[in-house]
Amino acid sequence: MPNSLQSNQSPLSLLLTLILLSMGTYLIAPMILMSLGVEILGISFEEFMRKIGAKEPEPAGQLVLVIVQGVSSMLSFIVVPALFIKKYEQRNLTYYFHFRSINMHAIALTLGLTLSLMVVNSLLIEWNMNVEFPESLAVPFDRMEQQGRLMTEYLTDFHSLTYFLVVLVVVAVVPAIGEELLFRGLIQKYLQGIWGNPHVAIWVTAMFFSAFHMQFYGFVPRMALGAFFGYLFYFSGNLWYASIAHFINNGFTLLMIYLFQKEVVDYDIESAETVSAWSTLTFAIIGAVLFVLFRKQFHITDNLRNE
């Protein structure tokens, strides 16, 4: 994992600056872009929001929403962190994404690990969905969950292959690079610098990563996923592996939704169908073996341990 900050500011000060800049951009950019989008469509914002729950989404409206999400994510998670790295660390993105040191064997292990975790995580997803929160929390959580579900259904009503590919870039490629750069590459690194414990940094970052998505009925499985990405980065020192895993997780889900809608496959990945305990146990064992093999591909130096 990259080490040694070039700035004279403390890790805590840099971390707060980064979060303020990135999250501030993530809150402001969509409002500006959405205003431009509805202006182009010639409708009011309220009318546009009502259309999101429609049974037959309008392609123009879908495209506006996808572009707003994609541009906002790129600005918040790629452009802002890149400028932050340039200004405060006096480095560029290749410091975190090492092209030359990519190990094809480790990539294959990352693929197997991610697919195994997706199966194992299905139990956590089922459990978390059935958690009963106090009424004071259940009401807003239910509202956020419903809004998130409507937005997802609206965006993933794939009317063409071209639209599917656009959504794949926005929902799988951009987050795989941007969210990993922000959460694992920077936030996790600064937390490790503050506390000196990589495992605490990984899990706290994972909790922050999960809370950021504002879907608390999926908080625990997303936190587990975030920790998984964090350990891939910690063991390898290269964000490409965490990004590849992130892309596989998001991209595979989108692909299965698309194939189900086109009646190529019969399995609905969004269904509440439970994976059997034996299948979960089998993939948990496979994942554990693959994780050990992945760890053996890399050597954690003293420099990496004491960031």
Residue-level pLDDT at 299: 64
Q: Contact, 237 vs 298, CB < 8 A? A: yes
DSSP-based three-state secondary structure for 58? coil
Is the predicted pLDDT of residue 32 greater than 60, yes or no? yes
SS3 for 200-247 is: HHHHHHHHHHHHHCCCHHHHHHHHHHHHHHHHHHHHHCCHHHHHHHHH
Pairwise pLDDT comparison (3 vs 73), residue with the higher score: 73
3-state secondary structure string across 237-303: CCHHHHHHHHHHHHHHHHHHHHHHHCCCCCCCCCCCCCCCHHHHHHHHHHHHHHHHHHHHCCCCCHH
Using only C-alpha atoms, what is the Rg of the chain?
Answer: 20
Q: How confident is the model at residue 264 (pLDDT cuts 50, 70, 90)?
A: very high
pLDDT of residue 273: 65
pLDDT digits (tens, 9 = 90+) for 40-99: 877 777 777 777 766 778 888 888 899 999 999 999 999 999 999 999 999 988 889 987
In the prediction, which pLDDT does 297 show? 86
Average pLDDT over residues 96-109: 86
Taking the C-alpha atoms of residue 91 and residue 94, their distance in angstroms, rounded to an integer, is 8
Instruction: Confirm if 8 and 46 have CB atoms less than 8 A apart.
Output: no
**HSE of 57 in the Cβ direction (CA atoms, 13 Å)?**
23
| Model pLDDT, residue 24 | 95
Question: In terms of Cα–Cα distance, which of 59, 55, 219 is closest to 144?
Answer: 219
Tokens 């959405």 belong to: 34
User: What is the Cα–Cα distance from 205 to 231, expressed in whole angstroms?
Assistant: 11
- pLDDT score at 7: 57
Check whether 146 has a pLDDT greater than 60: yes
Residue 11 and residue 193 in contact, taking contact as beta carbons nearer than 8 Å? yes
Does the predicted model carry a pTM greater than 0.75?
A: yes
- The reported pLDDT for the residue numbered 4 is 46
Q: Average pLDDT of 106-114?
A: 96
When comparing pLDDT for 303 and 139, which is higher? Answer: 139
Query: Where are the chain's structural domains?
Result: 11-305
